[in-house]
Structure 1
């Protein structure tokens, strides 16, 4: 379901673009039929505001593109077999995550390895989540897990079925470099390939070294800071300097490595390659605040402006995976959150709270132009909370 609304009285609006992460001279966002149509000043958009059926007053707080979790382990439905938890995706929406990208439905019980089963699982997952939006979230699912049983014709079939994602690192290869053909075929058929990197994450998987990554040449170096065990410093630098892969930083990885990587990416003009995900649910657990927590950590410990880190978790993800969201700009999905410094913080707004390492309080989540929740049930209470006209009593207690 798509909606129409106006967001007014924003104190700061984040763009999602790391090059110009704050939109100047704007306090209003207009959404029509689920897409952003205008970002500008209240006085200039009065007519559009007046014809909006729902008006959300940001009360001088921060308006930002919804977070994109580029490494979220979905299977089918809003359930994780790994942690035996239901409604975890709806809970992630309360953490400001409005879209997720699957790194392969690898936690499916009895996951197949034969070509027919591998294709069937990817197609089924994609088809189901095309029609299912837990908490209003968009789930980009159906990432085919690359196996030696897959031939070039299989990728033609996957492309025809609309599969656009692939994951390497959990197939039955005796040597990971043997998967170069499958990676190549996937990319030839318009499928974006994310590759595991670093130490093994679960029994049955293998470590993926820098040499393997250079042989395989995927689009995305998954969890380059570890999933959970990071590549060594020399290996990280080789991937950064000798390839054009996207560099994925995750909450379930090595924090010291993540801080070093984001600093080095900024210093070496590689920031457009930095993308952020949670790599959950895994053994690390279900983490509704996994992405926003990573933004706070990289901002406060890495010394990177929080609005720029936010862009790595929104716009950079959108560009890397060719997603319709991630930016507050005309034509982009109306996936938006409103946030402020949390109660009790020594800072006065969301960005300064993030730079201190505090997780902001989310007071509204909007997806597809529809208000999904007020008062996040997972973040701290926002010091200043958004209000809505007409009132939405069914959402006012949604954080409790």
Structure 2
């Protein structure tokens, strides 16, 4: 067995927006990549002493690793859109421990035939099952819906393990014509995310609130704009009259995102708010895209940052049925340790987020393995962790 214990936390975030802070807890223990205990060090002494690695948070905050619910992967740790390699490994340094693909739409020469789109989705899913850049989990293989896809094609995709789909980039004359493919995908257990708002790249079309109401996908992708936002009245109809997950992204309209999360919080729809980066796109490669969104939404809306963090972790996990996203027994051990950045007027990570400061990340654990210390992308944390045994090779500067 391989065990890790993170002790000495000032605050432990649960990932559940209903109870965002684990009361009277300062320790998280994991064995073989799964969380086995969350509680007080005094009650978990035997489990901590049995752990091969012990991380002392020294009063900082322990939280579930961020889930980027809109990350444009293709194959390997490379983005054709920005011609950048190792971007996913860099995202881990931004506290992102897993990502969800919204369709491998940036693949060069992307196919539109039934055989081609099926092959691309299956290849991406299978490749990333065997490849964990920087230690992160990549939920890839999101089939791009095309008018040529039949019910049998979706049965084939289901048999191959594909459970993600994206609508908005297929060869449809009118987006409303995708109704049959959306229904068939859902009937075969595939979660459908739909583009919304203005066109984002050549080959996509604007998708209006009326289109979304007709198509009824599971997830309204970047409802705050990808990057062009939907009209306010249409957004309100989607919030009030549907059950779609409502995705807020960094590469969207910030004013719209703040209004949407405030409305959802006030009207009891917070369960449906999910967060992603929608990068790499024209906005670029953004290792801090998700944590930046959490800081912006926390500081500009006034909503408890522990709850906003849950929208980027537990809400994502529930929407896509992912194993991570919560600091609870049985969840995947994807964990970050963070604190107020050096020089902030805040005293801890939640305080930093509430004033719009990006926390300093001092440790990232994925699958129960300590992956890095002193993030090369966030500001330096005010309180750095201490690790036993020493692991200087994991620090940004090697010390």
Range of TM-score over shorter length: over 0.9
SS of the equivalent of 1:159 reads helix
> Which whole-Å CA distance do the structure 1 matches of 2:339 and 2:288 have between them?
15
Within 5 Å, give how 1:34-73 maps onto structure 2.
Answer: 34-73=33-72
Q: Indicate conservation of the 8 Å contact 1:378/1:399, yes or no.
A: no
Q: Indicate conservation of the 8 Å contact 2:392/2:398, yes or no.
A: no
Q: In structure 1, what is the equivalent of residue 229 of structure 2?
A: 230
> Which whole-Å CA distance do the structure 1 matches of 2:8 and 2:343 have between them?
23
> Which whole-Å CA distance do the structure 1 matches of 2:300 and 2:36 have between them?
36
Tell me how large the CA RMSD over aligned residues is.
0.9
> Which whole-Å CA distance do the structure 1 matches of 2:192 and 2:176 have between them?
14
**Pair 398,272 (structure 1): closer, same or farther in 2 beyond 3 Å:** farther
> Which whole-Å CA distance do the structure 1 matches of 2:264 and 2:152 have between them?
38
Whether 1:346 and 2:345 are equivalent positions in the alignment is: yes
> Which whole-Å CA distance do the structure 2 matches of 1:20 and 1:152 have between them?
41
SS of the equivalent of 2:73 reads coil
Q: In structure 1, what is the equivalent of residue 17 of structure 2?
A: 18
Whether 1:264 and 2:263 are equivalent positions in the alignment is: yes
> Which whole-Å CA distance do the structure 2 matches of 1:123 and 1:3 have between them?
32
- Tell me the TM-score normalised to structure 1 length: 0.99
Deviations 1:212-254 (A, max 9, x none): 0011010000000000000010010011011100000000000
> Which whole-Å CA distance do the structure 1 matches of 2:268 and 2:375 have between them?
36
Q: In structure 1, what is the equivalent of residue 241 of structure 2?
A: 242
Q: Indicate conservation of the 8 Å contact 1:198/1:231, yes or no.
A: yes
**Pair 399,218 (structure 1): closer, same or farther in 2 beyond 3 Å:** farther
Deviations 1:232-287 (A, max 9, x none): 10010011011100000000000000000000000110000000000000000000
Q: In structure 2, what is the equivalent of residue 132 of structure 1?
A: 131
SS of the equivalent of 1:307 reads helix
> Which whole-Å CA distance do the structure 2 matches of 1:59 and 1:394 have between them?
21
CA drift at 1:398: 5.3
Q: In structure 1, what is the equivalent of residue 387 of structure 2?
A: 388
Q: In structure 2, what is the equivalent of residue 144 of structure 1?
A: 143
**Pair 87,398 (structure 1): closer, same or farther in 2 beyond 3 Å:** farther
CA drift at 1:204: 1.8
Q: In structure 2, what is the equivalent of residue 333 of structure 1?
A: 332
Within 5 Å, give how 1:1-400 maps onto structure 2.
Answer: 3-397=2-396
SS of the equivalent of 2:44 reads helix
> Which whole-Å CA distance do the structure 1 matches of 2:5 and 2:334 have between them?
13
> Which whole-Å CA distance do the structure 1 matches of 2:346 and 2:7 have between them?
23
CA drift at 1:3: 4.1
Deviations 1:343-385 (A, max 9, x none): 1101110000000000000000000110000000000000001
CA drift at 1:396: 2.6
CA drift at 1:110: 0.3
CA drift at 1:399: 7.8
Q: Indicate conservation of the 8 Å contact 1:16/1:328, yes or no.
A: yes
CA drift at 1:393: 1.7
Q: Give the ranges of 4+ consecutive aligned residues of structure 1 lying more than 6 Å apart after TM superposition.
A: none
Q: Indicate conservation of the 8 Å contact 1:374/1:398, yes or no.
A: no
Structure 1 spans left out of the alignment, 5+ residues:
none
> Which whole-Å CA distance do the structure 1 matches of 2:38 and 2:131 have between them?
29
**Pair 331,307 (structure 1): closer, same or farther in 2 beyond 3 Å:** same
SS of the equivalent of 1:343 reads coil
SS of the equivalent of 1:99 reads strand
Deviations 1:80-134 (A, max 9, x none): 0000000000000000000000000000000000000000000000000000000
Deviations 1:130-164 (A, max 9, x none): 00000000000000000001010000000000000
Q: Indicate conservation of the 8 Å contact 1:376/1:398, yes or no.
A: no
> Which whole-Å CA distance do the structure 2 matches of 1:389 and 1:345 have between them?
28
Deviations 1:47-70 (A, max 9, x none): 001110100000010000000000
CA drift at 1:387: 1.0
